[in-house]
């Protein structure tokens, strides 16, 4: 059994130390590298497979030191690591080498690979027709939206023209020394008076027509003769007398069947 710690080494009898030659190893042409264990300094997402890597996840990485890369005389260190979720970077998934067949291969479209030129042309024409139909529908919607916008713009332009004309009238009245507010009030009063006069004339015409109609009816009624009955003679009223009238008392005992004894 050998010793745990070797304190001496065996030298053969024919050992010649002068025969030993000094050798130098080849220097690495690239940057100095070192295998280190690091943690992700921030959360990130792999651009190959789309896996999210949270902050603090540990990786076996390679630390590279390039002497020419410095910032303010501080050495810049590069850390290179590989995403653990990318075993097959070509398809971003595992691949079966032999001995099995995968049921579903999401990265592969069997129909697209097996179709010939004619089938591919038909598929492209169908996709173009669907896209054209959607474009036509979108074109109709855009046309309706443009019509609505045009109507809205025309209404806004009319309102703007009216405002400009009103402002021009105001400026003109101010230059002439006339208060535009009084002009507006005066115009409103004139319109009101004109309307009242028209209403009065219409009422007069209506009353005149009704009066003429009533007169015609009265004239027609007067043309028909009416026979009046002769008045009956009235008897003269009797002359009043002031003679006292003595009323006779009624005998109520006879009504009850009673007789007075003699």
Residue for token pair 């009898």: 13
DSSP code of 19? G
Name the residue with higher pLDDT: 107 or 209. Answer: 209
φ, ψ at 69 (rounded to 5°): -95, 105
Query: Within a domain: residue 70?
Result: yes
- In a domain, residue 224? The reply is no
Spatial CB neighbours of 57, under 8 Å, sequence gap ≥ 6: 39, 40
pLDDT tens track for 25-39: 776 666 778 899 999
Report the predicted TM-score, pTM, of the whole model to 2 decimal places. 0.27
Residue-level pLDDT at 37: 93
Is there a binding annotation on residue 49? yes
In this predicted structure, the answer to whether residue 254 has a pLDDT above a threshold of 90 is no
62 within some domain: yes
42: in domain: yes
- Residue 36: give the domain boundaries: 29-98
The answer to whether the annotation marks 34 as part of a ligand binding site is no
DSSP 249: P
CB neighbour list of residue 196: distance below 8 Å, 6 or more residues apart: none
Query: How many angstroms separate the most distant Cα atoms in the chain?
Result: 212
User: Which two structure tokens, joined as six digits, stand for 151?
Assistant: 């109507």
Residue 88, in any domain of the structure: yes
Indicate whether 188 belongs to any domain. Answer: no
Distance CA 262, CA 255 (A): 19
Q: What is the pLDDT of residues 133-161, one digit of tens each?
A: 777 777 788 888 888 999 999 999 989 99
Greater model confidence, 94 or 168: 168
Task: Answer yes or no: is 60 within a domain.
Answer: yes
Q: Is the pLDDT of residue 85 over 90?
A: no
- DSSP secondary structure code for residue 116 in this structure: -
Residue 24, annotated as binding a ligand: no
Mapping DSSP to helix (H, G, I), strand (E, B) and coil, where does residue 32 land?
A: strand
Cα 36 from Cα 80, distance rounded (Å): 10
Was 256 annotated as part of a binding site? no
Count of domains forming the chain: 1
């Amino acid at each position: 059994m050998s010793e745990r710690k070797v304190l001496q080494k065996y030298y053969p009898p024919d050992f010649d130390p002068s025969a030993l030659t000094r050798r130098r190893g080849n220097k690495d042409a690239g940057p100095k590298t070192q295998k280190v264990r690091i943690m992700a300094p921030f959360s990130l997402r792999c651009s190959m497979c789309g896996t999210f890597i949270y902050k603090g996840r540990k990786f076996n990485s390679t630390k590279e030191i390039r002497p020419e890369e410095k910032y303010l005389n501080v050495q810049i260190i590069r850390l290179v690591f590989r995403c653990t979720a990318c075993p097959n970077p070509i398809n971003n998934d595992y691949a079966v080498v032999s001995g099995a067949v995968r049921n579903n291969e999401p990265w592969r479209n069997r129909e697209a690979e097996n179709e010939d030129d004619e089938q591919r042309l038909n598929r492209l024409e169908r996709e173009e027709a669907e896209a054209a139909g959607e474009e036509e529908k979108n074109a109709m919607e855009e046309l309706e939206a443009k019509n609505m916008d045009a109507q809205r713009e025309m209404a806004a332009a009319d309102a703007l023209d009216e405002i400009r004309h009103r402002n021009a009238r105001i400026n003109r009245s101010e230059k002439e020394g006339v208060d535009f507010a009084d002009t507006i009030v005066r115009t409103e009063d004139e319109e009101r008076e004109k309307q009242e006069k028209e209403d009065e004339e219409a009422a007069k015409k209506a009353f005149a027509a009704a009066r003429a109609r009533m007169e015609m009816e009265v004239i027609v009624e007067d043309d028909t003769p009416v026979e009046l009955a002769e008045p009956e003679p009235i008897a003269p009223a009797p002359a009043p007398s002031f003679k006292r009238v003595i009323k006779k008392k009624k005998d109520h005992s006879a009504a009850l069947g009673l007789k007075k004894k003699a």
